[in-house]
Amino acid sequence: MSTHEDVGIGDFVLLDEISHERVVENLRVRFNGGKIYTYIGEVCVSVNPYRSTNIYNSEYVEKYKDREMFENPPHIFAIADAVHKEMKQQGRDTCIVISGESGSGKTEASKIIMKYIAAVTNLEGQQEIERVKNILIQSNSILEAFGNAKTTRNDNSSRFGKYMDINFDFKGDPIGGDVTNYLLEKSRVVYQQKGERNFHCFYQLINGCNESDLKSMRLVRDPSSYNYIKKSSGNNQTTTVDKSDYKAVVNAMSTLGFTQMESQTIWNIVAGVLHLGNITFSLNEDKVNINDDKPLKDAAHLLAVDPSDLRAALIQRVIAAGGEVMQKTHTLVEAEYGRDALAKAVYDRLFTWIVSRINGTINVTSNNLHKHQRYRTLIGVLDIYGFEIFDSNSFEQFCINYCNEKLQQLFIELVLKQEQEEYNREGIAWQNIEYFNNQIICSLVEQSHKGMISIMDEACLNVGKVTDEVSKKKLLYQNPNMLLEAMDKKLVNHHHYTSRQLKPMDKELKHKTQFRIKHYAGDVVYNISGFLDKNKDTLFQDFKRLLFKSRNPIIEKMWPEGAQDITKTTKRPLTAGTLFKNSMIELIKNLTSKEPFYVRCIKPNEVKSPVVFDEERVTHQVRYLGLVENILVRRAGFAYRQRYDKFLKRYKMISQYTWPNFRGKTAMDGVKMMMDDKGFSNDVQYGHSKIFIRSPRTLFALEKARSDL
Ligand code: ATP
Ligand code: MG
């Protein structure tokens, strides 16, 4: 409890009136006063300050280390400490779920938490633990280089989801970890919206590597020379940052023990993708032709494949029909589609390979440590792409926003529902709080048969197998109406779904291909063109065989399915939508099995300013994050609750019955005597293991009594 706060109120449950206006006002007062953290009980609300602050230094670490949350002003360190303590003392696996929209500060929060944990552990300075800590922290710069990009909402936007488990030994020191990555937005490799960039690594490489590497990768320092990054070169004014980031990434790779061969392969693939993007096609007497051999040769060189094999895979595909193998030449559209699909897939595999390579390093170290330990607990840190709305929203936003629905659902389950269950468990009388349950939107997306992902999958099936003689139109799913019709038919009465066909008069739905989902965090209009394509995620077999044949053993290993015999019919792979859905369900299951802590991030304005507090935008976030409901549930008539032992420890000195001699038998006895003695008993209820205090005034009075001594 932070009664020592001078700016606004440090814990929302202590507001005398709970309303959206008051909550936003308190956030504003605190933001303007430089206080970016505010609690709702054990939930930490964080407002992005958009400036560097000096509140994460070692002085602060000392201040929050091994303290209770109420002893200091609100800070994310206190959450990190509580999580670590819970794990260490109770031996429970814990997790920190960081949520909020794009640019609200999730990734920064996750890094601050990791740095805090690193700062308060390994007091004996064991070398191997130091190594683990180093790896955990340094891996961030590598993951961000390859998985983050500038978007219109955030200059360093995570374009992949990241969940990191950190393993601890019985002393509470980190001895290992494991990163799980979720759906990378690979479409960015070949296309970026106006004002956005490709993944950072492309610019880092071009601006940062030395002349001889540049030459050996056959690159020039000019981003406008490459189709895949050309568009963004206009707003590419960050070359100095890219340059120094490149160095940081190279250093991190060496800290993590990437071999020379491994890091060279990584950069070769990045360069190879750029060259792939410069391969263009034209029609010559109805046959697809590659215009210029140079990028083809350069790409082949960097991917360590034969240029003639790459050419063949780009202009035709091998199909097996009735046991016979034959070649089918691509149309122009197919060739261009194939090239982009190849670039995306190569990059996506690279990213996944990097994640597993990082895990490999952490685990080599931790295996040494595990030898002596049987007892291990975990802290999970989830930092995933935030809810986003762009001018044009596609399949990626659909997945990202669905993911945020799932996290909101988890929050409802664990915080709103369980909180109310605590009252039941403790035998406390309470009043039910109404809240919007977004389960209905989760179902809209994920339900079997009737959900949007199922409908998409079914539509994909209907389009026919890629290896079939299908028309170019069908193969490329250029007719999105079919899917939209299927959705309309099944979802016609769903309150959270609508399309242009269903609501022709709706002004927001301007195009035939648009549909809208009413998300918990706001309405999003999606454009269905490309959905089926991205869901099916076709990559011609020829490319898989090509890369499997790479002379580079690392690349070969990234493409094991290339070994498959062409005449064997392969099982239909799961669609991107279904894979994503399954990974989300798995993630939620994992989080549910742990003791959760929450950081709710808020974006104060759209202009990245440290001084602008946009009331309207913040109100919107406060609403959809359900903060008011959270506060109400948390209070449900009780502003504060605490375990008897902890409560007694803090206030025992105020009563003659508990200090200096303790006259009770149990902590509960002691608390009751103390509260009776001080005349506070009317305002409290005694649960089975905790005391519940109704009014914030009682708490202030207790604090005052304590400080007046
Ligand atoms: P996305 O969903 O797009 O990945 P995010 O929620 O992860 O967004 P961040 O990348 O963490 O957002 O934050 C965006 C930017 O805001 C940072 O690059 C940084 O400039 C600033 N920022 C965020 N949190 C802090 C902080 N605690 N202190 C200082 N600056 C911050
Ligand atoms: Mg992020």
With cut-offs at 50, 70 and 90, classify the pLDDT of residue 367: low
Report pLDDT for 234.
Answer: 59
Which among 169, 168, 231 has a CA at the least distance from the CA of 202? 231
Determine the distance separating the centroid of ligand 1 and the alpha carbon of 130, expressed in angstroms.
Answer: 27
**Distance, CA of 179 to CA of 176 (rounded, Å):** 10
Pocket probe mutation, ligand 1, options 48, 76, 98, max atoms within 8 Å of Cβ? 48
Residue 680 phi, psi (nearest 5) = -100, 0
Report pLDDT for 321.
Answer: 76
With cut-offs at 50, 70 and 90, classify the pLDDT of residue 225: very high
33-86 per-position pLDDT tens digit: 999 999 998 899 999 999 999 999 999 999 999 998 888 999 999 999 999 998
Report pLDDT for 91.
Answer: 87
Which among 391, 670, 641, 617 has a CA at the least distance from the CA of 511? 391
Could you give the angle at the alpha carbon of 602 between the alpha carbons of 178 and 586, nearest 5°?
35
Which ligand has its closest atom nearest to the C-alpha of 47? 1
Determine the distance separating the centroid of ligand 2 and the alpha carbon of 181, expressed in angstroms.
Answer: 13
**Distance, CA of 216 to CA of 268 (rounded, Å):** 9
With cut-offs at 50, 70 and 90, classify the pLDDT of residue 550: very high
Q: Stretch 102-123: mean pLDDT, rounded? A: 95
Quick one: how far is CA 469 from the chain centroid? 40
Report pLDDT for 239.
Answer: 73
**Distance, CA of 207 to CA of 214 (rounded, Å):** 9
Report pLDDT for 466.
Answer: 41
Q: Is the pLDDT of residue 110 over 70?
A: yes
Report pLDDT for 271.
Answer: 98
pTM for the model stands at 0.88
Q: Is the pLDDT of residue 395 over 80?
A: yes
**Distance, CA of 518 to CA of 526 (rounded, Å):** 11
Determine the distance separating the centroid of ligand 1 and the alpha carbon of 105, expressed in angstroms.
Answer: 3
Determine the distance separating the centroid of ligand 2 and the alpha carbon of 87, expressed in angstroms.
Answer: 25
Judge whether 74 and 39 are in contact, CB under 8 Å: yes
Report pLDDT for 8.
Answer: 92
As a three-state string, the secondary structure of 318-331 is: EEEECCEEEEEECC
Determine the distance separating the centroid of ligand 1 and the alpha carbon of 161, expressed in angstroms.
Answer: 15
Pocket probe mutation, ligand 1, options 37, 54, 107, 148, max atoms within 8 Å of Cβ? 107
Which among 261, 259, 281 has a CA at the least distance from the CA of 269? 261
Q: Stretch 107-128: mean pLDDT, rounded? A: 93
Q: Stretch 552-570: mean pLDDT, rounded? A: 85
Judge whether 203 and 242 are in contact, CB under 8 Å: yes
Report pLDDT for 69.
Answer: 85
Report pLDDT for 467.
Answer: 37
435-444 per-position pLDDT tens digit: 888 999 999 9
Ligand 1: which atom is nearest the Cα of residue 98?
A: 6
Pocket probe mutation, ligand 1, options 31, 52, 108, 403, max atoms within 8 Å of Cβ? 108
Q: Is the pLDDT of residue 430 over 90?
A: no
Report pLDDT for 465.
Answer: 43
- The complex's ipTM works out to 0.99
Q: Is the pLDDT of residue 226 over 70?
A: yes
Judge whether 546 and 313 are in contact, CB under 8 Å: yes
Could you give the angle at the alpha carbon of 355 between the alpha carbons of 350 and 357, nearest 5°?
90
Q: Which residues are catalytic?
A: 102-103, 107, 154, 157-158, 386, 388
Beta strands in 470-582 (DSSP E): 497-499, 514-519, 522-527
Determine the distance separating the centroid of ligand 1 and the alpha carbon of 104, expressed in angstroms.
Answer: 6
Pocket probe mutation, ligand 1, options 30, 36, 38, 50, max atoms within 8 Å of Cβ? 50
Ligand 1: which atom is nearest the Cα of residue 157?
A: 3
463-518 per-position pLDDT tens digit: 654 433 344 444 444 566 788 888 898 898 899 999 988 888 888 888 888 999 99
Report pLDDT for 105.
Answer: 97
Judge whether 430 and 558 are in contact, CB under 8 Å: no
Determine the distance separating the centroid of ligand 1 and the alpha carbon of 108, expressed in angstroms.
Answer: 5
- Output the residue whose Cα is nearest ligand 1's atom 23: 105
- Output the residue whose Cα is nearest ligand 1's atom 11: 105
With cut-offs at 50, 70 and 90, classify the pLDDT of residue 365: low
Could you give the angle at the alpha carbon of 479 between the alpha carbons of 473 and 483, nearest 5°?
130
What percentage of the chain has pLDDT greater than the value 70? 94
- Output the residue whose Cα is nearest ligand 1's atom 18: 156
290-340 per-position pLDDT tens digit: 999 999 999 999 999 999 999 999 999 988 777 788 888 999 999 999 999
Quick one: how far is CA 603 from the chain centroid? 16
Report residues whose beta carbon is within 6 angstroms of any ligand 1 atom: 48-50, 52-53, 100, 102-108, 154, 156-158, 385-386, 601
Burial of 215 per CB tally in 10 Å (0-12, 13-18, 19+): exposed
Bridge partner residues of 600 (DSSP): 45, 99
Which ligand has its closest atom nearest to the C-alpha of 109? 1
Judge whether 646 and 673 are in contact, CB under 8 Å: no
Judge whether 544 and 585 are in contact, CB under 8 Å: no
Which among 521, 498, 543, 489 has a CA at the least distance from the CA of 602? 521
Torsion angle of C-alpha atoms 615, 616, 622, 623, degrees rounded to 10: 150
Burial of 522 per CB tally in 10 Å (0-12, 13-18, 19+): middle
Which among 100, 68, 99 has a CA at the least distance from the CA of 81? 68
Torsion angle of C-alpha atoms 318, 321, 326, 331, degrees rounded to 10: -60
**Distance, CA of 189 to CA of 336 (rounded, Å):** 14
User: 261 or 370: whose pLDDT is higher?
Assistant: 261
How does 232-263 read in b/e, with b if 16+ C-beta sit within 10 Å? bbeebebeeebeebbebbbebbebbebeeeeb
Strands 522-527 and 595-602: unpaired
Which ligand has its closest atom nearest to the C-alpha of 162? 2
Q: Is 52 left (phi over 0), alpha (psi -120 to 50) or beta?
A: beta
- Output the residue whose Cα is nearest ligand 1's atom 31: 50
Quick one: CA dihedral 147, 149, 153, 156, positive or negative? positive
Range in 271-280, 636-645, 699-708 with the lowest mean pLDDT = 636-645
Strands 316-321 and 522-527: unpaired
With cut-offs at 50, 70 and 90, classify the pLDDT of residue 589: very high
Edge-to-edge strands, sheet with 640-643: 640-643, 690-693, 684-686
Report pLDDT for 3.
Answer: 43
Average pLDDT of the chain, as a whole number: 89
| Cβ-based neighbours of 295, under 8 Å, separated by 6 or more | 275, 276, 277, 278, 279
| AA identity, residue 51 | R
Report pLDDT for 470.
Answer: 41
Which ligand has its closest atom nearest to the C-alpha of 386? 1
Q: Is the pLDDT of residue 374 over 60?
A: no
Report pLDDT for 471.
Answer: 44
Report pLDDT for 477.
Answer: 45
Which among 339, 389, 472, 470 has a CA at the least distance from the CA of 193? 389
Determine the distance separating the centroid of ligand 1 and the alpha carbon of 676, expressed in angstroms.
Answer: 48
Determine the distance separating the centroid of ligand 2 and the alpha carbon of 144, expressed in angstroms.
Answer: 9
DSSP 301: H
574-586 per-position pLDDT tens digit: 899 999 999 999 9
Q: Is 103 left (phi over 0), alpha (psi -120 to 50) or beta?
A: left
